[in-house]
Each structure stands twice: as structure tokens, then as C-alpha cells.
Structure 1
Amino acid sequence: MYKITLPEKDTPKKWYNIVADLPVELPASSQTKEGQQLENLPKIFSKYVLEQEMSQERWIDIPKEIRNVYKQVGRPTPLFRATGLEKYLDTPAKIYYKREDMSPVGSHKLNTAIAQAYYAKKAGAERLTTETGAGQWGSALSLACSLLGLECTVYMVNVSFKQKPYRKTVMHLYNGEVIPSPSDRTDFGRKILKEDPNHPGSLGIAISEAIEDALTDEKVFYTLGSVLNHVLLHQTVIGLEAKKQFELIDETPDVLVGCVGGGSNFGGAAFPFMKDKISGDLDCEFLAAEPSSCPTLTQGEYRYDYGDTAGLTPLMKMYTLGHDFVPPSVHAGGLRYHGMAPLVALLVNQGLIEGRTVNQTEIFKTGKIFANTEGVIPAPETCHAIKVGIDEALKCKKTGEEKNILISFSGHGLLDLQGYDDFIEGHLTQ
């Protein structure tokens, strides 16, 4: 079977909260010496997502209004068998990919953008602020705000603002305001620009600017596209659908791979399966693929750190390269983040998830192979997961094992063609 689909009626009605099933307790976010970060949270986020952030409940109802918008934008998404790639690799492994690229914005990000916009409007918001790297999250939030009648301001990492002009076009089409970060719009942005007028920016800086903006107006909330518990919670629709799709073909995954920047795509795909791993009902490896230029899981420290550069967030226990880390300007802008979702970090620390690194040349080579064998052009971020999936399939070729490999296909690369062109022309660095 090449494509496994679900009817609209099987769109998940509940999100899965892995906090209820963790093998050890999740370390709490910490108050800082100034004592303002936790106090500021109700001014930054709607009360509804804060309730989800702190929830210990295993299952959280998805409001009917959100489920209707999920269906409107294409959920449930299909699960494909990558038979062309399998043939190219000459592997006995079966490779599946869950296609989040088929949403209107071309990525998984809409799953939480719709939910966060819905809850913010319910709490009385008129405008949302956020950051974006490659632009996928900014595009998703711009569309969600447009659908739900909110204004949207996006602080886009400066290097991606220049690298990916058509992401800006998409956000503008959805009525989003897009500002290169660091900017002169905020005190923190002006501080960074004073030190370096040509600063490439980082997700940490853009987060600081978006939070500062939200704190200046009681009708404005900040929204985050990854890292926090409630964001990963909303993304579990990916894994919940995938579980049903594997049940339809009477299979289970032996290896699950996703790319990680902040961890939302990976967590969303992995956590519903991780539930069965923790309970002993599933034997599966969980592999998190990250850029070698931003090796948070493989070289970062597991400790408390800020989620942003200015230190406006509470301290979270996570793998981190340091909140002042400025990553190289690789094309996978969605993965250029210094930290990691505390939930993903905890499971890595417990040995239930393994981090893998991939360099930039490898990912574009992988994207070209996938495009030629499956016909779909993956986003640079997604290529990290595909590369690790290919590595696992080639191991099966050596051993003869017939493993099922599930890749979370987080987004398409149709707005990342400059990176592919640089690769084809031989202009990319490692």
C-alpha cells in the first residue's frame, strides 16, 4: 500500500499529554533572581495555554472549533510508503513518511498555530506576536490569525529574512506583519543593533523581541512555535494519526525519526508512540536529527537556561548551547535554536531518545535523492530526518533486517530553492 489515509471523522478529538506517563518527574521551570519571569507569564500567554502547559492530565480535549479548522486545512494527513526510496537504497526496510507538508503553509506548524490563536482570541487578544526562523512558523501563525480574525506580528531572524524572501510573501498574503530581527522596534533589538548593525539574528533574539512587544499591550499575547509543553501537546495529532494508520496495515514502527530544532515536530510524532515504549508495549528506537552546526542534543549541556537571549523567559531545564549562542547561517533556519524542549531533553537524558547530527551538504544531497525517488522536495529541516532514516535503512541492508522506519516529514522545500540551487552549484559549506 502506497498511501494510508484516514477519514475526517478520525481527526483526533484529544491531544496526548506525555507528562502523565514520563518515567521521572519533569523538572519545573525555575524562578530567576529578578523574580519577574514567572510573574510575567499570564501577561505573555493566554490563561488557557498556561493551564495546558502545567497540566498533568493524560488526555486534553480538542475543542470542536479547533477540530473544524484542522479539517479545513487538511487533517488527517496521509502516511506514505517510500517505495521509490526503498528501491533506490536496495534495502529490506520499509520506509514510511507522515506528510505534514500538505498543509496550506507546507509544514506541521499549523497544528499548534490554530490552537494558540483560538485560545488567545478566547482570552480577549486582538494581536499575537511571535518569532520565526525559516518562516514556516511565522507563515502558520499568520494564517491561523487570518482565519480567526486576529492581527499578527512576526519577528523573523535577519539572515532568514534575507535568505527566504518568499516566506515573507506568504506571511504578507496572510496579513502578517514581518520584521527582520534584531530590529529597531524593541529596546532589546536596538541594543543588539548598536553592538552589531549587521547582526545575523537568532531565534533567541527574535523570541526576546516578540515577548517584549507582547508585554507592552494587554490586548497582545506572545505565541511560540516549539519548545513549550503545550506546543508539543498540540502537535501530538501527528503521532496519534500515524498510530491509527499503522494499525490499519497491522504494523508498528521499529525506528521513528524526526528533525529537532526546538522539538515540536519530533515530539508531536514521537510522543504517542513513546507512551507505548515507556509502558513496554512497543520496541522502537527514537532518533532526533539536528544540524551539526547547532548540535544542541549531542554537544549541549543538560541544565537550566533561558529560552531567549535577553532572559525574559523562566529558566527551563533542557539541553542548551547557551542562550547567547548565535548559530551559523545555515539554510535550515527552523533548526537554528540554542535549546531544546524540556520534554524532549528529559527523554534524551533518560536514554529513550538518541540525538544524531547531519551537516548541511548531506541534507541537500538527501533532499535531491528524495525528490528523485519520491517526487517530493523536502524542506532542509526535514532532510535531516530523511538522512538519518536513510542511514538506518542502509544498516538494514547490511544486516538483512526488515525494519519499519517512520519519518516525520515536517515540511516541503518549495520555498527553500535558493539553498538547493547553492548545493547544485557547489556553493554550500559544511
Structure 2
Amino acid sequence: MSAGATPTRWRSVLPHLGYQLPPDRSPVRPDGTQVTVNLPMELVRQSIRQREHWPIPDEVLDAYRRFRPTPLWRATGFERAVGARVPIYLKYEGGNISGSHKLNTALAQAYYYRQAGVEELVTGTGAGQWGTALAAACAWFGLRCTVFMVGSSLERKPYRGVLMRMLGAELHASPSGLTEVARAADGSTGNSLSLAIGEAVEYAAGRDGAAFCIGSGETYSILHQSVIGLEALDQLAALGVEADTVVGAVGAGSNFGGVALPFFADAAARGVPAPRLVAAESAATPKLTRGVYAYDRTDETGTGPLEAMYTIGSDYRIPDSHSAGLRFHGAAKLVSAMRHAGQVEAVAVGQVAALDAGRHLTRSEMVLPAPESGHALAVAAQLAGGDTERGAWGPILVCVSGSGYLDLAAYQQLLAGELTDEEPAAAVLRAAQAGLEPVPAAPILAQVRR
């Protein structure tokens, strides 16, 4: 693939991990039967097979070529603004209709669900980037789309809702009055992506021809996002640059996995050490830095499979913040396993520091990043300036996962000095994590860490 080309294959990291991901555990219904997951078989295969390269279907590739490859450049202005001692390169994913990297997997999933005979996709979304991406993908492939969006985010970002409706989606603020899981909520879960996802799961289950569709935490969605890192590898190579550190923001993990894991796979295939892979998360939902590695549910219904993840506890009531799409209680099972194996690192960032990093990027590079991306930029600035325990020794690649034009209310609060940070107290986290079953120790993980 040339530096100016769109990848024609996704690349999986699974063959290079050195261990198997812990299996999901299916909860049991009150009638004693197990819950089953309704996924197109190709997505199932992409999640479990030890296959490195997966061809991108022609129809998906045709859509990709309308906005890919995405730009990569050295951010010299940002380097000066933050006092960087090493080069910082940006990979920008905000130039498509959804304004984020989410469209990469939305198009792929809509294609596979349509091939499986599904007529409507239903989802939950936090800041609205995933909901917008899925609405666009459904419009492209002729599917109906229903979105449950975290209510506080929709209130702050009403134009994200307008865009989804422009694309033909039916939109509901969560908690809504449409589902039992919302009616059973005690009113404190209004800022929860878990609740929005739970509503989508329940709603889809009750409609003929509909299927629930998720955008971030699943292994197949991380595979689809590998186009980001694959392009970045070739773009950096064309510049004669090797990244010392790769940074991406983590809600559940698709953005970070998309930019970082192709570097891991490439290094493993060549038999050389991988760059340092650093996940930037919200200090309001610090699953990778303060969570436990345990089996937890992925949504408020508790009917989906229990997954092995780093989690702050699905019962934890997440405070409102502009971390938006990062406001999820757990990390993807793939990212979590790699964190447990010592193959990736994590740093938590408050919303004030994240938005301040976004302000620096706006003024120095003429790019307005989404608040989620600001977390990655803040970590990159820390590493580049040597302000952490171990700063970067060479070039840093950071993924700017989305545009911030529909997040200007957050920046308005930053400029007015109205933002504060709220981090969970240790006792609250312990209570939310109580009763979770730890992931059994796997000897291979200890071997990888050594």
C-alpha cells in the first residue's frame, strides 16, 4: 500500500498477542435459558479467528474512498505550544460526515448486517459520534436506523441530533419512556452510555427485522478501525519516521485500538519491539487506571454476555462531564487483555486538561478537536514535555479521533472558567466493583509481561 492509498485489508492483532482472549460468559434468563447474541457470522469470525489480514468488501471500500486516506502531519505549532521536546504527529479522523473515526466500523457493520438480512439497526450513543456514523452508514446501505443518545449529551449537542435526523435516523433521548430498562432506572443514570445501550438492546429485541449494533468495544469494530493505524504506518514511513509512542483516547477502545494495534502487529511480524502504546482515558471513568480486571456486563439490561474487562463497575453512576464518548464504565476485552498483559499503558486525564489541550491545538494547528481527542492530546503533550514518569524518547503519533464543531458548548465553558473535574472516590469505586468476578489468572499473561 502506498502512502496515499486507502487500505484494502483490515489487520488483526489477534495472531500476535501470544494468548487467547478470555471467553465471554452468557448470563442466564429467569427461565433458565442462556442469552444468545445475534451477530452476522462474518463479525463473529472477525472476533475469534487467528487470521491477520481480512479483505475489505468492495462496497465498504467504495465508501471509505470518499474520505480515506485521512491526513497525517507533524504538528510543529502544537509542539511549540506545549513545549514538546520530541516531534508530535497527528492523524486526523474528523473530516467525514460523522465527524469522527466511528464511520470506519459503522460502514462495515451496516454492510454485514444488510448481508445477513437485517432491515433496521438500533444503537446507543454517548456524544453522538457513533449514532451519527451509524445513521450515515444505514443511509448508505439502505437500512432504517434508531438511536438512543445519552440525554445530557443530546441537550448539550442538539445539532448532533439534527444531523442524525437529516440522515434519516429516529432519535430518542436516554433515558426515554420507551423501554422497561429506562422505566426501572432510578433517575441517576441519565448520563450513562450503559443505559442508552441497554435501551437499544431492549428496543431492538422487540422489533422484527431489527438488530442491536455497537460501535466501540467489540473486537470486530477494533479490526475495522485498523485502517487508521495502517495508513499511519505508511504515511510515517514515507516521511522516514518511526513512532516511539502511539497515543489514542479510550472510551471502550476502538479509536485507540485502531491507531495503536496495527503498530503492535507490524512490530511483531517484523520481530522488533513495538512502540509504546498509551491509552488516554477520562479521569471521570478511569477503568484502565483504577478499574479491576473482572467479568462485567456491557449495558444496563444485563442480558448481553459478560465480558472480561477493566471496569469501574457497571453499577457506578458516572458523573456528567464533557468526556462524552469516553464516559463508559469498561474497556474493550481486547484492550483490557493487552493492558493486563503489560502490552499497553493507560493515563487518566480530567476534562479541564483535555479541553485545554484542544484549545492549544485549535490555536496552533487550525484544527478544532472533539473533547475525547483532547484527552489524547493532553497525554501526548505530557509525554512530549517529559512531565511524566517516563516521557517519550522519540516521535509521538496521536490520533485526533474527531472534530469538535458540535462540541463548542464545552469550549465555551472552558473559556468562561466554568469547568471542574469530578473523579470517583475510592470507596465509591469499591462499592461499584463489589461482587464482580475477577478474570482467572492466565499463565501466558505473566509470561508476556516478563
TM-score of the aligned structures, taking structure 2 as reference length: 0.89
Whether contact under 8 Å (2:35, 2:305) holds in the other structure is no
- The structure in which a higher percent of residues are helix is 1
The CA deviation at 1:210 is: 0.7
Whether contact under 8 Å (1:276, 1:282) holds in the other structure is no
In structure 2, what residue type is equivalent to 1:238?
A: I
- Of 219, 240, 248, which aligns to 2:238? 248
Q: Distance in 1 between matches of 2:313 and 2:307?
A: 12
- Of 101, 114, 124, which aligns to 1:108? 101
- Of 245, 257, 263, which aligns to 2:247? 257
Which residue is 1:59 aligned to?
53
The answer on 1:228 being equivalent to 2:193 is no
> In structure 2, the residue corresponding to 1:41 is in which secondary structure?
coil
Answer with 270-279 or 295-304: which moved more.
270-279
Which residue is 1:30 aligned to?
25
Distance 1:424 1:64, change over 3 A: same
The CA deviation at 1:217 is: 2.6
- Of 13, 17, 30, which aligns to 1:18? 13
Q: How large is the RMSD of aligned CA atoms in angstroms?
A: 2.0
Distance 1:141 1:38, change over 3 A: farther
Which residue is 2:180 aligned to?
187
In structure 1, what residue type is equivalent to 2:193?
A: L
Which residue is 1:383 aligned to?
374
Report the identity percentage: 40
The CA deviation at 1:399 is: 10
Distance 1:303 1:99, change over 3 A: same
Task: Kindly tell me the number of residue pairs found equivalent between the two proteins.
Answer: 418
The answer on 1:341 being equivalent to 2:327 is no
- Of 65, 69, 81, which aligns to 2:63? 69
Q: Distance in 2 between matches of 1:185 and 1:236?
A: 36
TM-score of the aligned structures, taking structure 1 as reference length: 0.93
The answer on 1:293 being equivalent to 2:268 is no
> In structure 2, the residue corresponding to 1:156 is in which secondary structure?
strand
Which residue is 1:48 aligned to?
42
User: Structure 2: which 5+ runs fail to align?
Assistant: 422-450
Distance 1:76 1:36, change over 3 A: farther
Kindly provide the CA deviation profile for residues 344-385 of structure 1, in whole angstroms up to 9, marking residues without a partner as x.
Answer: 001111111111011111111111111111111111000000
- Of 157, 163, 174, which aligns to 2:156? 163
Which residue is 1:307 aligned to?
298
The CA deviation at 1:202 is: 0.8
* 1:348-359 → structure 2 map (5 Å cutoff): 348-359=339-350
User: Structure 1: which 5+ runs fail to align?
Assistant: none
The CA deviation at 1:328 is: 0.8
> In structure 2, the residue corresponding to 1:40 is in which secondary structure?
coil
Kindly provide the CA deviation profile for residues 121-144 of structure 1, in whole angstroms up to 9, marking residues without a partner as x.
Answer: 111111100010000000100011
Answer with 91-100 or 412-421: which moved more.
91-100
Which residue is 1:331 aligned to?
322
The answer on 1:208 being equivalent to 2:198 is yes
In structure 1, what residue type is equivalent to 2:132?
A: S
Whether contact under 8 Å (1:6, 1:78) holds in the other structure is no
Q: Distance in 2 between matches of 1:31 and 1:401?
A: 41
Q: Distance in 2 between matches of 1:201 and 1:392?
A: 31
Distance 1:399 1:216, change over 3 A: closer
Whether contact under 8 Å (1:26, 1:343) holds in the other structure is yes
